[in-house]
Structure formats: structure tokens, C-alpha cells
Amino acid sequence: MRRILLIALKDLLLILRDRSMVLMILIGPFLLTFGMGLISGRMGGGVSQSSGPRDIPVAIVNQDGQMLGNALVNVLSSPELAVLLEPVLVPDVETAKQQVEADQVAAAIIVPTGFTQSLIPLAKEWQAWSPSSSSNLAIQIYANPGRPNSVAIIESIVREFLFRVEKGRVLGLTAITPLVTAGAIQSTQAEEIGRALGESLARANDAKDLMQVAITEGGLTPSHEVDVMSSLAPGMALLFLMFTATYGARSLLVERRQQTLQRLMMTPTSPIQILLGKGFGVYLSGVLQQLVLIGTSTWLFSLNWGDALGVIALILCAALAAVGWGLLVAAWARTPAQVASAGSALMLLFGLLGGSFVDLSSMPSPVYVLSRVTPNAWGLDGYAILAGGGSLSQIGQPLLALILMGVSLIVFAGVILMHSRHFTQA
Amino acid sequence: MIRVHNLTKRFGHLTAVDNLTFEVKEGEIFSLLGPNGAGKTTTISILATLLLPTSGEAWIDGYSILQRPLEVRRLIGVVPQEIALYQDLSGYENLWFWGQMYGLRGAELRQRIRMTLEQVGLDEKAHHKVRTYSGGMKRRLNLAAGLLHHPRVLFLDEPTVGIDPQSRRAILDFVKSLNREGMTILYTTHYMEEAQELSHRVGIMDHGRLIALGTQSALLQQAGEHDTLVLSFENDLKPQPPLEVLRHLSEVINVSREGDRIKVLTTAPEEVLPHLVTVCLEHGVRIRSVEVIEPNLETVFLKLTGRALRD
Ligand SMILES: Nc1ncnc2c1ncn2[C@@H]1O[C@H](COP(=O)(O)OP(=O)(O)OP(=O)(O)O)[C@@H](O)[C@H]1O
Ligand SMILES: [Mg+2]
């Protein structure tokens, strides 16, 4: 037991002396704030009041012509919204405005040129890209003052669309950017990831769902502030947790390469003790990172995570599951670089799949089932329950799932490692 | 203290250690002398329970390395050939960690660390990160980490590779003093001089096999009355004197090339030398200098294998 603890503490100390690791641990909360600040200002113009009309004529000017612009057009002209909207594609802004002024349509939605790109940078822009530097390209709604109710509905649909895109984007980019900066992934890879992210964001905007939003919110002027906080922060926390766990598990291969693993094997310590020690070290760093992230966000932005005991239990269990995945990656990989790249890929995949970027409730059920293999999905469930006022006793299911996931993955990875000549035989 | 019986290790088709049998007595310094790839590190890795042998058996103080690896590990200390330290920990922290892993605690551990750091001359650098150490300093810390816990048996795998003469001197003296305190030492090297200076007995390894074993005087006797002539040349061996022709001169036992010099093992240097000069002149090679070396372990190796220890 003492040896396990010693190895773990030694690893924690090494992690704290690793600059890129500390950066990720400390920078997480700040990226989070940054992200918060970014969600807004994507939409200009528009008036809002209420009631419930049908077949609202709306003009759309898609100057963007790319992924996100097209996605919005698709959503607005989808059969699900056909009852509600009657969209007309208009080639230019002038025509659209004339139609509004002539009272032919309730509003004109103008997606400016380069809108998609302002959200998802190209490969060459990654190095210089920072969340704040993206231009203020906004979707314009040119409203017909004579039809306030219709305008309100259109506005709420567009706003929800943008909110979802924003949320996923900010999470995705704040996760990818440090990886690019740290050299963990190439900017061309980042572009691919960005595109995949964009596509899934576009897909995530299920039209049926948006109509629901339109009906429930239409007319009100909802403030998304609270929503943003509680839906963004846990996703972010879990994303960073996966990073810490996979990056930490890298040390197993680093130790083999720098021969200290071999040296450890020649001390009176069993391979199982060594493995548990290494795993525990990663676990401690994951827990520490979550505590820092959740602690600072509570303290700095008075974010309410819910019942403290529940939050702590969730941190402890989610970190266990994340360590399981980290060790599995380390057991599969042959070099530290492989762990780093497979680890960041897994982190992003789990982010997408587990609901850190996009809301899973609108996904088809196979995706939902698949999402259950990620610690992110269970963790998000837990945080949602806690944020909604639930207590420790109500998050039993996610906690149990995370523990089971963690323990079985650790055992599985352990068995692979114990039988791997690469681990035990020099 | 160390008993090795028919030890064999294969990596695929390569036999790294081939049917090795020897014993090291308590309190002895035993050297394994051999060129690169002879199988020295593999042998030590097996004895230190890091690798499993393909066949054969070995015992440390009566404990089988196969059946009782944990007991074996409690008895031994290992100084690996590669530097195996945490670069982002200080020298002191490294020793503290490795000491703990060998079961040292508290005041005793601190005392040992201080003492050992002094012995290897690193007390001033103790609190700097290992990353900032020079190659020689890392070597010395690598040594310290292996013997901090005063093991009864110490394996030293080429502990002096790539360091300056003073550090090397210090390490050799340190090893001798550890041995005087009763530590049994298995030392590997490809420096003939080190084996000669340190060891009570020497095993000469080549291609995984032990080709000679005994005290130095016994090995030298085995080499017979042979001297070595070392020839160096003007214009660095271009054109080359044919080794085959030299080898067939009478009184010549063996000829080998080492860098731009040629070593001739002979029973009668005075008689051979004029012939050598003639042959070289015939082939248009001008001799710059000739050196006569009395028998040593290198000569033994040369005689047994026909090759120099380092080439
Ligand atoms: N893990 C391994 N897999 C395959 N071959 C190996 C492995 N370890 C060693 N060998 C081979 O076994 C042979 C003996 O290697 P070993 O390291 O024991 O030699 P050595 O005497 O220590 O040499 P050196 O003086 O260079 O350290 C070499 O041919 C080496 O290539
Ligand atoms: Mg070696």
C-alpha cells in the first residue's frame, strides 16, 4: 500500500512540474469563462412580443452558402417546421428588405458571407486563432414591425439554433486550441476535427426539436444565461477530465522509455503495485483538476453546481472511469506519442458522443445507447440532476455506472498490461 | 552468493545469452568482460528478475530468481547501464524515492542520502533537477540510486561509460570501498583496464557465451607468453596490408584490425617484426610506429576470438 501511494505521489509531483499539464489544469476554468463571454452577440436586430400564428412567411438570404448557413436553411425549410414557417430563399439583401417593407414576409433572415468560417477556422488559421478574435459576423433578422408575433417566433428559432452551435463550438474550440498550441495535434487535423464538429453541430439542430422551442418560447424573451452556465460547465469539466486522464496515462510509456519502469521492476515491488500506483497518480491528478475547475468556477462566477457532497462523489467516480479509459489507451499504445494522439482523439470523440458539445436528447436512440460508454454522458446526467436540485442519493445510477466502468476498464487494462511483454519484459 | 546454471535467453532467433554457468562468491568482485552485444546486460537483467530466462536457472543467496523473485529483489541493488532517473525531480528527491522503494525510512533514509550524495560528489547539486545535470553527474546519481540501500549483492552494468577520467576514477574507488565493506559485486564492462583493476575474477563473454573464466593470472597464463604488437601507419592504412598474409607468417597467432591500427598477437615479437615490416613495404604501406604490449586481458580476448574487444 505504501509503495502504491509513493508511486502515485511521485507521479502527481511530476505532473505538477509538467508545464503543459499545469496549463491544462489551471487554464480549464479560464477557458470556461472565456467561453461564457463568447456566447452572445451572434444575433442582431429584431423585436419581440407574443402570440401564435401559422404559416409565417420568411425570407432567407444565405450569403454564407457553407455548412452552418446551409444547415440553418435546411432546418427552416424542413417538413417539421412547414406548418409554422413558409420560407422563401432570396438571392440578396436588398430584395429581402423590400419584401419585408412590402409586408410580403414577417422577417428576413440574413446569413452573412463567411459566417461558417468565422465560427470554424481553417487549418492555416489555427495557430493564430483565439476565441475572441473571431469576427462579429452575426445573423441579421430584419423584422417587419407589423408582425411582432411572427418575428418573435422566427427569432426564437434562430436564437436556439445559434445557441446550440455556439455551445458546441466554444467547447470544441477551447478544447482543440490548446492541443494545437501544445503541438499535440496538427492544424490540419484540427481543421478536420473542426469540420466534423461543425457537421455534428449542424445535424444536432433537429427541426422537430426547434419547433418545440418555438412553441414554448415563442414570444418570450428568454435569457439563456443560467442555461449556458449549467449546460456548458459540466461538459467542459468532463472534457478536461478525459484529457488529464489520457495524458496522465502517458507516463506509463514515458517511464518505460526512460528506463525508470525497468528500475522499478527490479525493486521489491510487484507489477500490480506499480500499475496501481501509476493509475492512482493519474486519478489524483484528475480529481485535483476537477476540484480546481469546479472550485474556481463556483468561486469566480458563482456557478451553482448543486449539492456539494453529490458533486464530490461525482468527481471521484468520473475520475475513476476516466482513468480506466486512460490506462486502456496506454495498454494499447506502444509510444508516448501514440497515447497523446489517441488520447486527444478519444477526448474529442467522447466529447461529441457523450454530449459535452451537443445535446444528446435530440439524438436518435443508437447514439444515445453508444453515448453510455463515455464517462461524459454519465457525468453529465449526474451534474444535470445535481444542478436541478438533486442530492447525492439521486445520482446513484450515474455514480454506479461510472464506478463499474472505471473498475472494469482498469482490470481489463491491467490484464492486458500484465500479459504484455512490453510492460513486464523490459 | 550468485549461482548461474545453464542460463539461456533467446530473442526470436538471436541467442543473447547462451548456456551461461558461473558462480560469484560472497565478498567478491566478479567482472563480465565483453564487447557490445555480448549479452552482459541481458545476463544482469535476468539475474535482477527483470527478464525471464528462456531456460536455465540462477540463485542469489540461495533464492531462485524464478521461484522467489521478490526475495531476490530485496537482496540486490542494480545500477542499470541506461540512466534511469526522473529528470524533473532533484537528485535528492530521486534518492528519496528509490530509497523508499527499497524500504528505507525517516532519519535513516535522510542520513543515507546525505552520505551517498557526498560519496558521489553531488552534495552541492542535490536540490537541482536532474535535467540540469551533466552526463557524468547523472551517471554518478544513477550509481547512488542503486546502492543507497546497501544491498548485499550489487549489479553494476557499465557504470563508467561516457564519463570523464576523474569521475571514472571516483567511481572505481567507490566500488572498491563498497566491496571492502563486504558487498558482493557483479560488474560488467568492455574496458579491459577496469576489469583488471577491480576484479578478483573475470568472465569473458562473447556472443552470449562465457569463453573464459578465472582469476586474472590464470587467464593470462591461458594466453601464454604472447605479446601484442600494435602497428600504426602513415597515410592511415591506404592501401591496406593483407591481414591474411600477416596471419600466415610464422610465430604469428592472430591478427586483428582496430580502427586504423593493426594488432598482431605473437609468441616472438623480435622475430616477427622484420617480416611484418617487409610485408607492409611490399604492399606499399609505411609503418609509423610499433608498440609492444605485454599480455593482458585484451590479449586473452584477442587470442580466443581473433577480434579486439572494441572495434
Ligand atoms: N529486448 C530485446 N529484444 C531483442 N534483442 C535484444 C533485446 N535485448 C537485447 N537484445 C540483443 O541481445 C544481444 C545482447 O545484448 P546485451 O544488451 O545483453 O549486450 P551487452 O553485452 O550488454 O552489450 P553492450 O556492451 O552494448 O551494452 C544483442 O545482440 C542485442 O541486440
Ligand atoms: Mg549492456
Interchain CB contact of B106 with A (< 8 Å): no
Determine the distance separating the centroid of ligand 2 and the alpha carbon of B295, expressed in angstroms.
26
Residue B226: per-residue pLDDT: 73
Residue A49: per-residue pLDDT: 34
ipTM of the complex: 0.80
Residue A346: per-residue pLDDT: 87
d(CA A153, CA A220): 9
The answer to whether the peptide bond before residue B239 is cis (omega within 30 degrees of 0) is yes
| Most confidently modeled range among A128-132, A210-214, B200-204, B272-276 | B200-204
Q: Which residue of A has its CA nearest to B11?
A: A425
d(CA B217, CA B213): 11
Q: Collapse the DSSP code of B32 into the 3-class scheme (helix H, G, I; strand E, B; otherwise coil) and give the result.
A: strand
- For residue B190, which atom of ligand 1 is closest to its CA? 25
* Higher-scoring residue by pLDDT: A392, B28: B28
Where residue A351 falls among pLDDT bands split at 50, 70, 90?
confident
Contacts of A6 in chain B (CB under 8 A): 97, 100-101
Determine the distance separating the centroid of ligand 1 and the alpha carbon of B16, expressed in angstroms.
6
Residue A66: per-residue pLDDT: 79
Q: DSSP string covering A237-275, please? A: HHHHHHHHHHHHHHHHHHHHHTTHHHHHHTSS--HHHHH
Determine the distance separating the centroid of ligand 2 and the alpha carbon of B49, expressed in angstroms.
16
Burial class (CB in 10 A: 0-12, 13-18, 19+), A90: buried
Low-confidence ranges of chain B (pLDDT < 50): none
Stretch A244-251: mean pLDDT, rounded?
Answer: 86
Stretch A171-190: mean pLDDT, rounded?
Answer: 63
CA distances from B150 to A9, A341, B146, B159, B179 (A): 25, 42, 9, 17, 11
Could you identify the residue written with the cell 512540474?
Answer: A17
Domains of chain A: 2-47+227-423 (no CATH), 56-215 (3.40.1710)
Mean pLDDT of all residues in chain A? 76
d(CA A73, CA A65): 10
* Higher-scoring residue by pLDDT: B259, A202: B259
Give me the long-range contacts of B244-250 (CB less than 8 A, separation at least 24): B245/B279, B246/B276, B246/B279, B249/B275, B249/B276, B249/B279, B250/B275
Residue A90 in contact with residue A96, Cβ under 8 Å?
yes
Could you identify the residue written with the cell 439524438?
Answer: A363
d(CA B290, CA A316): 75
What's at A297, amino acid-wise? Answer: S
Stretch A4-25: mean pLDDT, rounded?
Answer: 85
Burial class (CB in 10 A: 0-12, 13-18, 19+), B28: middle
- For residue B35, which atom of ligand 1 is closest to its CA? 25
Residue A119 in contact with residue A169, Cβ under 8 Å?
yes
Burial class (CB in 10 A: 0-12, 13-18, 19+), B286: exposed
Where residue A361 falls among pLDDT bands split at 50, 70, 90?
low
Q: Which of residues 224-243 of B touch A (CB under 8 A)?
A: none
Phi/psi for B270 (5° steps) reads -65, -40
CA distances from A222 to A155, B126, B216 (A): 11, 62, 92
d(CA B56, CA B20): 8
Residue B138: per-residue pLDDT: 92
Residue B255 in contact with residue B228, Cβ under 8 Å?
no
Stretch A46-73: mean pLDDT, rounded?
Answer: 70
Interchain contact, A270 vs B70, CB within 8 Å: yes
d(CA A322, CA A410): 10
Interchain contact, A425 vs B52, CB within 8 Å: yes
Residue B237: per-residue pLDDT: 60
Residue B40 in contact with residue B17, Cβ under 8 Å?
no
Q: Which of residues 11-70 of A touch B (CB under 8 A)?
A: 13-14, 17-18
Nearest to A159 by CA among A249, A239, A227, A98: A227
Query: Which residues neighbour A376 within 8 Å (Cβ) at sequence distance 6 or greater?
Result: A235, A238, A239, A242, A350, A351, A353, A354, A355, A356
Phi-psi region of B236 (alpha: psi -120 to 50; beta: other; left: phi over 0): left
Which of B97, B102, B145 lies closest to A268 in CB terms? B102
Q: Collapse the DSSP code of B263 into the 3-class scheme (helix H, G, I; strand E, B; otherwise coil) and give the result.
A: strand
Q: At residue A213, does pLDDT exceed 60?
A: no
Crossing angle for the helix pair A225-257 and A336-353, to the nearest 10 degrees: 160
Where residue A54 falls among pLDDT bands split at 50, 70, 90?
low
Q: DSSP string covering B196-214, please? A: HHH-SEEEEEETTEEEEEE
Find out whether the beta carbon of B16 lies less than 6 Å from any atom of ligand 1.
yes
Ligand nearest to the CA of B37: 1
Tell me the pLDDT tens digit for each residue of A77-126.
777 677 678 888 888 888 888 888 888 888 888 888 877 777 666 555 55
Kindly state the DSSP code that residue B177 receives in the 8-state scheme: H
Mutate to test the interface with B, among A259, A262, A263, A274 (most CBs of B within 10 A): A263
Stretch A275-280: mean pLDDT, rounded?
Answer: 94
